[in-house]
Chains A and B, each alone.
Chain A
Amino acid sequence: MPPAEERPTFHRLSWRDFDALARLDGDEDTIRKLRRAERSRRKLLLHALLAEAAKSPDLVGSLPPLDSAWELLARAEARSPRTVNRMLTNPYVGSWAGYTTRLLRNGTDGVGPLWMHLGHVHAIAAATAIQAELDFETEIPVWHGNAMLPALGTARLPATEPFTPATVRGAGNRYVVSHAGTTVRLPIAFSSDAPGWWGVRQVRSRVGAHRFSLRLDDLDPYRGLYEPIPPERLPAGDVANWRRLIDEACRLIATHLPELSRIMPVGLNSLVPKPHVLFRNPSASTGEAFGSAVVGLPTDGVALAATLIHEFQHIVLGGLLHLATLYEPDPRERFYVPWRDDPRPLSGALQGVYAFFGVTAFWRALTHSDPASRRATFEFAYWRGQSWRTLQSLRTDATLTAAGRRFLDGIAERLGPWQDEAVPVEARELATAAARDHLAGWRARHLRPAPSAVAELAEAWRSGRSRPPTTFGTADPPPTPVPDGSWSRARADLLQLAVGGVRAPERPGIRPAVPGATAADFAYTSGRFTEAAEGYRAELAATPDRPASLVGLGLALSARGPHPAARALLHRPELVRAVHRRLRATVEPPPTVERIAAWIGQLIPD
């Protein structure tokens, strides 16, 4: 046994680096530490997978024994250690290792046979050997005719069977993949396309001294969030669009957040492109694929910059969570978060706070650069407030560790003072209204008032009391994950249109096509509040349970001045709805929702 000094040690992080990450002050060295730890994690999982699989050699089917992959990796490492480092930096080696570990250890069924997933290590070894220019031959899995060589590309072969092996061989810089009489020759530049070959595209962007290099990976089967997915090759025209948007986003980040643009390339090296979704800029990532983000084609470079920062924050926190425990496991979905329509566990809420903290920093920088920008000022006003509110709800939670509290304190140290920075009145008012809209909609659908309180209020109404009893509780019940009714994002989408965050196809004289938007929503977001209130009253007369109409009426009334019904509909919509439901079943004719709201609202302060 080697002396203790020579044995491997554990990854460490100084508290200074930890605090800097919390405050958005992390430097390149810190992100490199996280990346280095991820490489160790992947190496460890690879080692554990191969050791476990070696106990049952038939698990790899007709592919060569897994030992040969290990030997090939060792040869590549001896020839060119950088190629092995690069392989371990590939995010999808991480997601493959995680997915396959779960299949093997939990005995669960996956997408396709287990041998294909275990055998993917041959593809990882082959891709590494090719980059190290080794002379070798091995076999790799083919899924529906696609033989993936991670980070290089996919050889497209005849799909004789859904899952089958193919041979990879070559030397120097000439390699081929063969199967069923078809041979695909890899091009000299792997990222190029060639007959039978789709290369993994690389997008490079340079802004002054800042260099960004991102793979646009639409091929790797493990590029999704969780289970494997087939290739979704982007047409060349779409690639050009992505290149333009990435260039624009990188320029914005380098210009407005230069410190961030220095560290982002260390922690974000691959994007999984997805189609555009109107009014949304969907994106996602997983802690197992440090370095990667799944991103829907954004509206513009500004939206992409915000998304890249958002996902980078997730990536950083994911890496940090592999080194430090910030909270105890607790799957209970008990927090309101403004970025989703359902209650979230602390882990998800914390991820969101950190991601939107970064996004807030971006909009803040744009606001400083152009204080007249309606979009930037609204987004800054909205996200600084929403991130702060969620942060406050998490800070004292009992499941946080001391490190977790310290991390949130670090965020607060930076985010707190931003709350008082000047923004135009319009931006502040729009942000406040948008925040109230979403929270009230969430309350209506996820909070269930105590039946006894509802019964007492209904009885008080029936008995003709001018004010409701003052006994109904003020503490919120825990949220219920299953929503009571659906939600419409139409008002939020219309607001995005108004501030220029989304460009809908123009049709002269015709309202933009916003999914789910009603005439009342258009009136409200155009500032015609009396008309909007009338519209929402009509909606509630037809469907008194509709959460978006309840909240819409509250917003429209509130916009015209203090109103007890508005207070109840915005602060206790779940109670208004529950009492009205009960009265509908017992009083003929039932009162309007607005009357009940005005009655309950007498006890609700502004």
Chain B
Amino acid sequence: MGISAIMGISDSRAMERVEEIGTMNSSPVNTEPDIESALIDLGAVPFTALRELDEETLRFSTNHVVERTRNLSARYRSSNAAGGERID
């Protein structure tokens, strides 16, 4: 399922929004659409509203982040330095 479907908006509307944002963030010669992540932007969502928010977008993003977090494994413990890399 595409992000636009998850967000409950049609492909054409999704494209309009992408272009709007792309225009804001791009030089006139750069019309590439932005990279859209699977991470929902909660910057403007207060804690009180977050608990009431029950929609597909939130569930999709939560699942994405939780699954990725669950699957993270570390070969290095907190007492060891990773030597120029990171554990993920």
Contacts and interface: CB of A to CB of B under 8 A. Distances in A.
Given A8-B53, A284-B76, A339-B84, A37 B37 contact: yes
Contact of A106 (B42, B70, B88): B70
A352 B85 CA distance: 5
B12 to A, nearest CB: 13
Interface in B52-77: 53, 55, 57-58, 61-62, 65-66, 69-70, 72, 74, 76-77
Interface in A30-61: 36-37, 39-41, 43-45, 47-48
Given A14-B22, A16-B27, A84-B47, A324 B78 contact: no
Contact of B79 (A18, A224, A348, A403): A224
A225 B36 CA distance: 28
B36 A70 contact: no
B79 A296 contact: no
B41 A288 contact: no
B8 A7 contact: yes
Contacts of B3: 10
Contacts of A228: 78
The majority secondary structure among interface residues of chain A is helix
A564 interface: no
B62 to A, nearest CB: 5
A36 B43 contact: yes
Q: A41, A97, A287 — which one has the most chain B CB atoms within 10 A of its CB?
A: A41
A70 B70 CA distance: 23
A226 B87 contact: yes
A483 interface: no
Contacts of A283: 81
Interface residues of B, number: 55
A70 B47 contact: yes
B46 A77 contact: yes
Contacts of A4: 7-9, 13
Interface residues of A, number: 72
Given A10-B61, A44-B61, A322-B39, A225 B82 contact: yes
B36 A74 contact: no
Contacts of B55: 1, 7
A577 interface: no
Contacts of B15: none
B80 to A, nearest CB: 7
Nearest to B84: A339
Contact of A224 (B25, B30, B78, B84): B78
Given A10-B3, A101-B66, A15 B32 contact: yes
Interface string A1-24: 100100111111111111000000
Contacts of B9: 4
Contacts of B34: 12-15
B65 A43 contact: no
Contacts of B21: 12
A8 B25 contact: no
B39 A323 contact: yes
A482 to B, nearest CB: 14
A351 interface: yes
Interface centre among B21, B25, B45, B84 (most CB of A within 10 A): B84
B35 A40 contact: no
A45 B50 CA distance: 12
Contacts of A48: 62, 65-66
Contact of B86 (A8, A37, A286): A286
Contacts of B72: 98, 102, 287-288
A136 to B, nearest CB: 15
A229 B84 CA distance: 21
Contact of A10 (B32, B40, B62): B40
Given A12-B36, A284-B76, A39 B84 contact: no
Contacts of B80: 225, 284
A221 B12 CA distance: 48
Given A43-B50, A102-B69, 15 more contacts: A12-B21, A15-B35, A16-B25, A41-B65, A45-B66, A45-B69, A47-B51, A101-B70, A106-B70, A225-B80, A226-B76, A287-B86, A287-B88, A344-B85, A352-B85
9 contacts: A10-B3, A11-B40, A13-B37, A40-B43, A70-B47, A286-B74, A287-B86, A340-B83, A351-B86
Interface of B: 3, 7-9, 13, 17, 21-22, 25-27, 30, 32, 34-48, 50-51, 53, 55, 57-58, 61-62, 65-66, 69-70, 72, 74, 76-88
State the 3 A-B residue pairs at the shortest beta-carbon distance, nearest first: A224-B78, A282-B81, A339-B84
